[in-house]
Structure 1
Amino acid sequence: MLFDVGRLLHEEFLPVYRAAAADTDGWEEMAVSVAHRAGSRLASARISIAHMVMALRSTDRLLTEAMLDDGGDARALAAAGTALAAELMSAFCAGDDGLADAVLAGSAPDGAAAFYTVVSVRGALPNQVVSAFRDRGPVLLATSGHLLLPAAEAAALSLCLDVQEEFGGEVWFSVAERPVARMALARREVDEIDALVASLGRPPGVYRIDDVLLESAVMETPEARDELGKVLAPLLANPVLVETVLALLEADGNRAVAAKKLFIHRSTIDYRSWQIEQLTGLSPVNPRDLAVLGTAIGMGGER
């Protein structure tokens, strides 16, 4: 059994070590994908952790030596071995990650909860976030990178905020709760939320559909998009005013905070706000108008 595990790891890991040795762009993402796949296979095969660790060490030694003989960079190879081992162990110890894929595919296999909150992650590797969540309770990781928390959305929001703080705040979470039979809808919803949050330049945080309801409705309504296009043209023609809107959005409408971020006086941001209202008929001082302006800018970035 040990020989079979070693052969599997050697075949799976060889392309990653080669890419790392050559400093090929994207080898880190390749390492995550390859190690997760291998770890899940070994977990499904009921390989003992002792056999898996022994094979992992042997594979790392053999591949590192081979790449060094070919002139590979020792530091990059060490980084590759560390990344592969961390992701492999995460996937192997999870044991039930295949359940997440099955649930997201629309089935309700044995062991599935009655409902889940689906979470998308941006700004950190999913396996790193999973480790943080597992310190707080059960979580499943799908091969797509989505997390499934067997918890109501309110509880999931609290967990996401805790994890975000642990990561220093530079992480975006999008969440949606559904019964297990409707997980595909939840997955689509969190992907749409994340896309909107990214396009609008929203700051790191935890987002629900309620946080982007206006933007979501606009994106799905051609008439509303056309109307926003009329707002969009004069605004996008002035990069300084666009920068001001984005700063106000990031500051949740707080003009003093936005002025500090832009290194300008409070009176300057008040004047720019007046200019924006004159150009568009929308006042960035009004939270609803500010949201509409942000949506217009987000749409403009996609054109």
Structure 2
Amino acid sequence: MTEVVVRQDLATGNGRRHAFRTRVRAAGQAWAGDGSGELADLLAEAAAGDPELTELVRTGGALLADFLEGYRRSVDRVRTSGDLAKDLVDGLHVRPEQEMTLAPDYLVALVRWSGRGRAETQRADGALRHAVGPDLLATSTDSGLVLLVPSTDNQRTARTVTQIKRFLGGNGWLVTATRPRREIRDGVREAAEVLRLVMAGRRPCGAYTMLDVLVEYAVVQDEAVAAQLAAMIRPLRGHAVLWETLMALIDADYQRNKTARNLFVHRSTLDYRLQRIAAVTGCDPTTGRGAQLLTAALIAGAVRDRGC
């Protein structure tokens, strides 16, 4: 009888460990590959509340996170390109002699030109880099030109930002974020996200920070809310005239007289189209609440459906 019980216990234990290893493999497939906190959370979920497995995850997970951090640092040293600005933006470790030349904090300035082809953008980026000075760290990313401005001298930082704005001349966007030098990569990500939301919301060329898109940022961070908003505005894409009207209304900051002039239509024609927009979307663009929802829906739809 005892032998049977032991065999059953072994079978149960083996089955439990097998199920745990299966969940761990699934967690590995779900892991994004960066962030030890996220890794620890995934492993804790795989333990499924089992006290013994949870303790195993706690001790073993910490060792694994330390191991991966050491490996990442080693890989980063190997991958260092030698381009200091690019290495900082990519989050790579820089050589000690380079680190000594860096300021403790930086203003990350992301510049994106409006309506320019690749060759013209490259020429404009080169001219801007020359204008702000060769000593300023700069590199190009998929989102645009990144300039790293030391923020230890507030007056110089302000002058540089003013210089960038003047150089843009209303023909592009400037997004800024301030970070310690070890968090420059995070600052670039923030600036890129702000730029994405600014462009998705059809905001005019100019200078922006995260404070200008807090509502939009909150909307796209909530997957369920963003999905509902995108679904709300999606049917309007099948009505070209109504879609054009809504875009013109947003571009005119919901000023109906200005919208009618820009569309070269009579005000009564515009009012009829706005009624049709309300019927299709369920949101009345002539009300403050409706305007807010439609703008949020436009951004959510652009980000989700078109990968803006």
Shorter-chain TM-score: what band? 0.5 to 0.7
Tell me the distance in 2 between the aligned counterparts of 1:151 and 1:244: 43
State the match for 2:164 in structure 1.
163
- SS of the aligned residue for 1:217 comes to helix
Matched, 1:121 2:118: no
Match in the other structure for 1:275: 276
Change (3 A) 1:258 1:296: farther
Matched, 1:141 2:138: yes
1:224-266 CA deviation, whole Å, 9 max, x = no partner? 1221133023322212222222222222333333333222233
The 5 Å alignment of 1:48-63 reads none
Q: Does the C-alpha gap of structure 1 residues 186 and 260 become closer, same or farther in structure 2, counting only changes over 3 Å?
A: same
Indicate how the Cα distance of structure 1 residues 158 and 253 shifts in structure 2: closer, same or farther if over 3 A, else same: farther
Question: Which amino acid in 2 is paired with 1:121?
Answer: V
Return the letter of the residue paired with 1:103: L
Q: 2:306 aligns to what SS in structure 1?
A: helix
Paired residue for 1:292, among 292, 296, 303? 296
Correspondence for 1:68: none
Distance 1:213 1:150 in 2: 25
Give 1:102 shift: 4.1
Offset of residue 267 of structure 1: 3.6
Deviation at 1:294, TM superposition (A): 2.4
What are the Cα deviations for residues 3-45 of structure 1, in whole angstroms up to 9, with x where unaligned? xxxxxxxxxxxxxxxxxxxxxxxxxxxxxxxxxxxxxxxxxxx
2:300 equivalent to 1:301: no
Q: TM-score, normalised by structure 1?
A: 0.56
Q: Which protein shows a greater Rg?
A: 2
Give the aligned residue type for 2:139: A
* Aligned residues of 2:128 and 2:167 also touching (Cα < 8 A): no
Q: Is the contact between residue 200 and residue 297 of structure 1 (CA under 8 Å) also seen in structure 2?
A: no
TM-superposed CA distance for 1:131, in Å, is: 3.0
1:239 aligned partner: 240
- Give a deviation string over 1:125-167, Cα, whole Å, max 9, x none: 32222233349xx732125431112238x98688546534444
Deviations 1:191-248 (A, max 9, x none): 2222333344333222222333333333332211221133023322212222222222
- Give secondary structure in 1 for the equivalent of 2:284: coil
Distance 1:248 1:159, change over 3 A: farther
Shift of 1:188: 1.0
CA drift of 1:189 comes to 1.2
Q: 1:172 to 1:301 in 2, by over 3 A?
A: same
Match of 2:88 in 1: 103
CA distance in 2, matches of 1:267, 1:112: 61
| TM-aligned CA distance change 1:187 to 1:167, over 3 Å | closer
Unaligned runs of 5+ in 2: 1-81, 114-120
Contact preservation (8 Å) 2:108, 2:188? yes
Letter in 2 for 1:289: L
Task: Kindly tell me the number of residue pairs found equivalent between the two proteins.
Answer: 204
- In the superposition, relative to structure 1, how do residues 260 and 165 fare at CA in structure 2: closer, same or farther (>3 Å)? farther
In structure 1, the residue matched to 2:14 is none
TM-score, normalising length: structure 2? 0.55
Q: Provide the rounded CA distance (Å) in 1 between the counterparts of 2:298 and 2:285.
A: 9
**Fraction of identical pairs, as percent:** 30
Residues 157 and 175 in structure 1, CA contact (< 8 A), matched pair in contact too:
no
Residues 241/210 of structure 1: CA separation in 2 closer, same or farther (3 Å cut): farther
CA contact (8 A) 1:259 1:265 kept: yes
Q: Structure 1: how far apart are the matches of 2:294 and 2:159?
A: 27
Once the two structures are TM-superposed, the CA of residue 182 in structure 1 deviates from its matched residue by 1.3
